[in-house]
Amino acid sequence: MTSEEKKIFAGELFCPGDSELKAIKRRTHNLNLDYNKTYEDETEKRREILSEILGEFGEGSFIQGPIAFHYGIHTKIGKYFFGNFNLTIQDDAEVTIGDHCNFGPNVTIVTPIHPMLPDERNLMLDADGNPKRFCYAKPVHVGNNCWFGANVVVCPGVTIGDNCVIGAGSVVTRDVPPNSFAAGNPCRVIREITEKDSMKYKPEILADNRVIE
């Protein structure tokens, strides 16, 4: 881990233009392009590329592509994950996604935060008095069995609990407790998900299929 990466994970200001960080990002961005040039049936090639990009990628997981990972190695994805078109993860800080999660098209997860004041956003001084551009980052954690609708954006520092459904177009700015249906901009909890949400109570949709008891 580089010295600037240590600052990222400590929640401190870091310089995204640091040469070692840029080398990590350049490698990952190039691998993104390699992945996005593959055909959907080139499953072994795709998985090989993802194994080079990601910190972890669980058994049975699949990403439709195109993809856009920033560091890649800071992202850990569990088993049986499905990511639809245009998955973007700006993983300056750590991003973890649990098992059996499903993401709709255009889901974005971001971790970096820039200073609010424009002068500070442009330049500050490091410990040696050198002018540099800085930002900081907060991790994002997604539990198991979560479903995100299309165009969901998850902001820095958010934790989403197990078994949550996040409605399409939501901008998630704060934590979502387990077993919640949440939606909106900013995203808020609409209600708890319960057994009454079972498809067995929707016979007109269930048709001649059955739920597993």
Instruction: Provide CB contacts within 8 A for 175, sequence distance 6+.
Output: 158, 159, 160, 161
* DSSP collapsed to 3 states, 116-162: CCHHHHHCEECCCCCEECCEEECCEEECCCCEECCCCEECCCCEECC
From the candidates 29, 74, 100, 114, which is the catalytic residue? 114
Rounded Cα distance between 62 and 174, Å, is 27
- State whether residue 111 is helix, strand or coil: coil
* Exposure string for 16-30, b = 16+ CB within 10 A, e = fewer: bebeebeebbeebee
Rounded Cα distance between 139 and 70, Å, is 14
Mark whether 114 is an active-site residue. yes
Instruction: Provide the 8-state DSSP code for 44.
Output: H
Phi, psi of 160, rounded to the nearest 5 degrees: -115, 125
- Report whether 160 contacts 139 (CB < 8 A): no
Catalytic residue list: 114
